[in-house]
Amino acid sequence: MKRTDGELILFWTLPVVAIIWVSAFLLFPGFLHPMSPTMSAEEVAAFYRDDTARIRYSMILFNWFGVGLIPVVILLAMQIRRMAHRTPILSYSLIACAAGPPTLFLIANMFWLLGSFRPDRAPELTQLLNDLAWLTFTVLVPYLIAQCLLFALAIYWDRQEKPVFKPWVAHFNVLIAVALAPAAFTALASTGPLAWDGLLSFWVKNIAIFVWIIVMGIVLGQTIRQQRALETVAA
Amino acid sequence: MSTTFNKRLLIVWLILTSMTLAYVWIDHTVDQNGTLRASTVVTVSAIVIALIKVRIIFREFMEVRHAPALLCRLTDAWVVLIAVCLLGSYFVGTAISS
Amino acid sequence: MTNLADSQPRLEEKSAKFVPGQPDMWMFVLFETLLFTGYFSVYLVSRTQNEQLYLQSQADLDLRIGVFNTIALLLSSWAIARCVKASREGAYRSALINALLTVSFGLVFLTSKVLEWVKEIHMGNTFTSNEFFQHYYFLTSIHCIHVLIGFIVLGVAVYQLWSPARRSQQLVETCATYWHTVDFLWVLIFALLYVVR
Amino acid sequence: MSTSTTESVTVPDPPADSRVGRFVWNLRYHPKRELWFAWWVMVIFYQLYGVLFFFVTRVQPPPSPAWDTPTVVGWFDDHSLGVRAGFGVVFLVAGMCAPMNALLAYSMRRMSVSRLFAYSYLIIYSLAAVPGMLVMAIAMTVGALRPDRDPEMIHWLYDFAFLSFSGTMGVFMIGSLVYLVAVLLDKNRVFPKWYGYLSLCNALTEVVVAPAWIFHRGAFAWNGAIAWWINMVVFVLYTGVFIVLLRKLIQREDFGTGPLPEAVR
């Protein structure tokens, strides 16, 4: 019997974090339906005035659990170390990516909370905070893209009889990276699919993140279980 | 054995210090009643004296004297380079401003 | 006895040519000098654009303090040069004393520098006062940072000289080369800030 | 610990005829593929960085901090599309920093120093990209987003962007110092000592840039002769040097084709 090293505890925080994220996402009044970049300063100010409570509580929730994904990324980095690579470069790369998205998300989170802190602020200022929040939230993709692509590359290079992950996991990660990419260009349009409330920048990006968490959670769970079974046999 | 070296270092130090003190004399020649006046002669001589001191430090204190020719040339080239840059920027700057 | 045996080839090399310290440190010295030359050139050009302001501000500097600073650093440079010679001859006790002397002269320089800053600030001349004092505080403080790094470097030299187990002549020479650089950079800064008209 | 330590899939010989074939073979089977991948990512990232910051967004060399508000608003009007598209690409590719920093950290793992150095450097430099680059990109993009915004706010975003970019100092300074100590202590001669000393020069540029937080004009402002131009020379030189040195490091590495080293796991 392997002694308790806490790996599974950290892994099982993932569904909890996912549920909290979904609840906070639904609680925030600006996500369903997403706020349009074409809203006037008055409209934005009215939004913060009318929905102050829901904005505050949902964002406080996000602030608490925004970093929840880091253990999972580190678990992936640990799995990369089991792969048939000659250097630790790719696992280092994943570690280097881990803190990026939560940091950017927390910046966005703070701007939202700031906007709701004094809803009677001049509408122009509230709009500025709102712009900063939405833009930061939408463009937090660079590290997620890098993470997916690097992880896919790690799997492609894992040439051994029993690779740690199956090849479809790599293809899936590339697909997610492609789905996340358009959001980087959200500033080019204030209407249409690229705008931050649009099909590509909002729906495709956020659904991709959600699907990635579900799928990678299941895959990672299976891999850890197999690894533990193997280690028990070996020991 | 070491006395010759030490004597040489002491002489070098004395030269460097007296060159530093020479600045005080230069300083007194140009100022009138505490008012500072612009002077190309003072500027150029201050820079030149400083560079001579730098070269002495290179040669004696930093022992470039005993170093291979490459390092000797390189440090000398550097002294010239600094001289060109400093005097160049002074004269070019003066030419632009007037 | 081992010390003597070790130092013997080194003494014979005296007449032969050698690079003092790591050649790598020389690259640093030359590059850093180039950077400072850049700072100096910017200073001299800005100076010529507004000569009256620079001259008036310069009147607030005390040349005597500058001369004292320079002599203190020259003394420290002299001491570290003696230290290198002594350690090359195996006279480690004398080398150590000279290294510690270097540190003390360095501290004298640092103290007088800080006192001068305090005096200038009391006279109302701060970093944001005017262009001359921007350059004055910038050049003196970036040099001061080099002096502080120099104390770490001298610490390495003292550490090397302390125990018979270490005593790498190359490292001592490397440290000395760094310290001399701090010295001659100050010689240039002194001339440019205090004397140039 | 691990179950299989050998690369049991047989490796075919590299094709000799076509360049594309060789490239694909290198990509799949070359023993140093991970290192070369990270190295090329680094080279391409710096190329992109240069093109995006100097030519597309035109934020480098930086415009003046002394401008009045209408001039700043005018600047945003002129560069609006370049800023939004250029920083869009920045948001897309900023993740390339990760393999780059991983390679730099790996070079420290080859040195005879504690692994503390590699991990500290990795974390410091990964963090650095957010205040040092992405915050600027966000502030600039928001500034270009609404030309009809209150000019004072656009001016604030302008200051925020350039000051966060130039004024993020400590992470790069401490990171370079970590590298410096690692290189100087290293007994494996992974990098020459002069590179360590050059790291000190790079660390000092971050001291030199500090007055950018204070001055609106002159040599020490964020576009000044000392705070920007001289620093840029050092930065470009330093970057060029470590790219070349890392290339040599990778060329020197000899993994052979045998069993995988246990150490990397």
Give me the DSSP letters along C38-76: HHHHHHHHHHHHTHHHHHHHHTTS-HHHHHHHHHHHHHH
Query: Residue A74 pLDDT > 50, yes or no?
Result: yes
What does the longest C-alpha to C-alpha distance in chain B come to? 59
Whether residue B24 and residue C63 make contact (CB cut-off 8 A), yes or no, is: yes
**Chain C contact for B66 (CB, 8 A cutoff):** yes
Whether residue D230 and residue C42 make contact (CB cut-off 8 A), yes or no, is: yes
pLDDT band, very low/low/confident/very high, at B2 (cuts 50, 70, 90): low
CA distance C187 to chain D (A): 20
Taking all residues of chain C, what is their mean pLDDT, rounded to a whole number?
89
Query: Residue C17 pLDDT > 90, yes or no?
Result: no
Domain span at A143:
7-234
Query: What is the count of structural domains for chain A?
Result: 1
**Chain A contact for D105 (CB, 8 A cutoff):** yes
Whether residue C48 and residue B58 make contact (CB cut-off 8 A), yes or no, is: no
Residue A165 one-letter amino acid: F
**Chain D contact for A70 (CB, 8 A cutoff):** no
Substitution target from B6, B16, B35, B64 for chain C, most C beta carbons within 10 A: B16
Residues of chain D contacting C46 with CB distance shorter than 8 Å? 218-219
CA distance A53 to chain D (A): 26
Query: Residue A188 pLDDT > 70, yes or no?
Result: yes
Element (H, E) at A174: helix A167-180
Helix (H, G, I), strand (E, B) or coil at A18: helix
- Among A146, A182, A197, A224, smallest CA distance to A44 is for A197
Based on the number of CB atoms within 10 Å of its own CB, is D80 exposed (0-12), middle (13-18) or buried (19 or more)? middle
Per-residue confidence (pLDDT) for residue D203, from 0 to 100: 94
Residues 6+ apart with CB under 8 A from C39: C138, C139, C142, D226, D230
**Chain C contact for B48 (CB, 8 A cutoff):** no
Lowest mean per-residue pLDDT among A126-135, C7-16, D249-258 = C7-16
Six-digit token string for D79: 């560069």
Instruction: Give me the residue label for tokens 């510690």.
Output: C100
Whether residue D211 and residue C32 make contact (CB cut-off 8 A), yes or no, is: no
Residues of chain D contacting A82 with CB distance shorter than 8 Å? 2, 265
Q: Is residue A163 part of a domain?
A: yes
Q: How far is CA C136 from the centre of its chain?
A: 17
Query: Residue C11 pLDDT > 50, yes or no?
Result: no
Whether residue A139 and residue D141 make contact (CB cut-off 8 A), yes or no, is: yes
Residues 6+ apart with CB under 8 A from C58: B36, C132, C193, C194, C197
Q: Is residue A1 part of a domain?
A: no
For residue D61, is the peptide bond before it cis, meaning its omega torsion is within 30 degrees of 0? yes
Homologous superfamily in CATH for domain C53-195: Cytochrome c oxidase, subunit III, four-helix bundle (1.20.120.80)
**Cα separation of C85 and C97, whole Å?**
12
pLDDT band, very low/low/confident/very high, at A214 (cuts 50, 70, 90): very high
Query: Residue A118 pLDDT > 50, yes or no?
Result: yes
Q: What is the pLDDT of residues D82-135, one digit of tens each?
A: 999 999 999 999 999 999 999 999 999 989 999 999 999 999 999 999 999 999
Taking all residues of chain A, what is their mean pLDDT, rounded to a whole number?
92
What is the percent of chain A where pLDDT is above 90?
Answer: 83
Residues of chain D contacting A127 with CB distance shorter than 8 Å? 149
Residues of chain C contacting B61 with CB distance shorter than 8 Å? 77-78, 80-81, 180, 183
Taking all residues of chain D, what is their mean pLDDT, rounded to a whole number?
89
Whether residue C142 and residue D198 make contact (CB cut-off 8 A), yes or no, is: no
Residues 77-136 of C with CB under 8 A from B: 77-78, 80-82, 84-86, 89, 91, 94
Contact C169, C11 (CB under 8 A): no
Query: Residue C8 pLDDT > 60, yes or no?
Result: no
Six-digit token string for D122: 């990795």
Helix (H, G, I), strand (E, B) or coil at B35: strand
For residue A85, is the peptide bond before it cis, meaning its omega torsion is within 30 degrees of 0? no
Substitution target from C19, C27, C174 for chain D, most D beta carbons within 10 A: C27
- Among D213, B46, B52, D107, smallest CA distance to C128 is for D213
Q: Residue A152 to residues A75, A90, A165, A172: CA-CA distances in angstroms?
A: 15, 10, 10, 8
Cβ count near D245 (within 10 Å): 17
**Chain C contact for B83 (CB, 8 A cutoff):** no
Query: Residue D4 pLDDT > 60, yes or no?
Result: no
Q: Residue A222 to residues A17, A32, A62, A69, A151: CA-CA distances in angstroms?
A: 19, 33, 28, 18, 17
**Nearest Cα residue in chain A from D9:** A160
| Mean pLDDT for the stretch of residues C15-40 | 90
**Cα separation of D26 and D8, whole Å?**
18
Per-residue confidence (pLDDT) for residue B36, from 0 to 100: 78
| Mean pLDDT for the stretch of residues D191-201 | 94
Six-digit token string for D14: 């590299």
Query: C-alpha angle B51/B85/B53, rounded to 5°?
Result: 5
**Cα separation of D213 and D160, whole Å?**
11
Chains meeting B at 3+ CB pairs closer than 8 A? C
Per-residue confidence (pLDDT) for residue B3, from 0 to 100: 67
Six-digit token string for A172: 């899936």
Q: What is the pLDDT of residues C118-164, one digit of tens each?
A: 999 999 999 998 999 999 999 999 999 999 999 999 999 999 999 88
Q: Is residue A219 part of a domain?
A: yes
Six-digit token string for A231: 């280690």
Chains meeting D at 3+ CB pairs closer than 8 A? A, C
